[in-house]
Chain A
Amino acid sequence: MATATFRIWRGDASGGDFKTYTTEVESGMVVLDVVHRIQATQANDLAVRWNCKAGKCGSCSAEINGRPRLMCMTRLNELDLSQPVTVEPMHTFPRMKDLVTDVSWNYKVKTKIKKFAPRKPDAPDGTWRMAQADVDRVQEFRKCIECYLCQDVCHVLREHHMHDQFIGPRFLVYTAAMEMNPLDTADRIGDLRDSCGIGYCNITKCCTKVCPEEIKITDNAIIPLKERVVDEFYDPLQRIFKIFR
């Protein structure tokens, strides 16, 4: 059986440092398995969030060798085990303890976005009719597992800390899922420009790169929303038209 060395960030809001652990590893293991093994044998109080262990709940987000990833979906054979593997908490959110960060900001942001508001049902029994082709693109956005890795990597949040002016890629995807839902009647375009700060995104596509669900966040969600904002507020012909309306 091989051994591997892991450098795991230990500490809390007041500070901390990497601690080195050496443990046995087997083929097929993922980083979360190693963290669990260290927790069970060497560091009982090591703090880590996890749930499904299958890439479906988005709890075990961390930065592995500097890259935002899900620990449960990062296999050891993708990593160079001749070097120590570093595991640290996401940078964009306040540190709480060890690998656990305070992600409560995300929950607050979501409540500010206008909720889904369906049109009247299409049939007398209270149901709607929608073609699969019309819901395909919405279903892509609804794959999101809210791991917040896109928020973590987004430089507007990570480097510039504009949490009070920009909702981040996750919530642009969330908004897109409602805006493009054929049943929805609410209008969020003004909010996208103002309170959501969509203009801060300069489409570097980092969010798309780290998305474990492979949602094309920038191309399919953010850019079409930006286009809607432009059509609504910045189209010169529309502006003239509106003056005379």
Chain B
Amino acid sequence: MTRFPDGPPPRSERPTSVDQLIDSRLMARLDHLDVVSRKIFSGRVQGERRSKRRGQSVEFADFRPYVAGDDLRFVDWNIYGRLDRLFLKIFLEEEDLSLHVVLDASASMNWGDPSKFEFARRLAMALGYIGLTNQNRVSMSAFGGIDRDGNPAGLQRLSNLRGRRRTHEVGKWLIDLEPGGGDEFENAMKTIALSRQGRGVMVVISDFLHKGGFETGLRYIAGRGYDVFAMQLLSPQEIDPLAHGMSGDLRLVDLEDDDQAEVTVNAAVLRGYKDRLDTWCGRLRDFCIRRSIMHMIVDTGMDLDTLMLDYLRRRGLLR
């Protein structure tokens, strides 16, 4: 007897190559985009973007009075000649950007039509491609996945890639991810926060339907130097269950913990569900605003091109 007599949960076909993750046409259009941070960070090497860290770049930022110990090479002697006082010239230092994409690979993401995880995988690929193309340090993490034996894979990481030539490596890593594990959001965020290297942009792609709550996990990564973007993926089936055939007497089975809920879906229950979903999303949004996290709800029914070229640009993640 099959577990689900009415067929398996809706999901998309798993890609087998990078081209299936992101096609060349989209790649060409993404070439013009870059990841934008609302903050200016210092990197390990001099990069292509400004940092708030004043340094040795050519772009003048400010003056400050000389104090003992300052590098005499940055003293503005012209001012000393005019004012007879020592001032140091302060320049904006150009640094590379660290882009960290955190991907939720738990079982709850492996649902929807198209599958939320496949959508997230393609989204991560596109973001990673943009980062690599713009010489940013691209790192990726995935939590909640499973290995080939079906066991929890723990936090899977791909660190510090740079340059377009690493695109295939990113794609391969993404393709190898296998969704289907439990909810490890909190532990994963804690691990990522503790092992933080440098500053940069962190994009967390998840549905944030964590029974333990999202607050603790997000709290780990908020305020630690990352410009965090929380991208909440919701499938069309989750946004409007009735329009997608969710009705009648149902026994709902949780993909992550096999928890069951017997529901007779009617207008009142649907109304309650939508209210709860709105409340949940509103709670996430409020939490993010208070911690300077950019929260975005992404309908996985949306076209990826539109998302990348329009939606994310308007929300300030890309330019």
Q: Do A and B come from one complex?
A: no
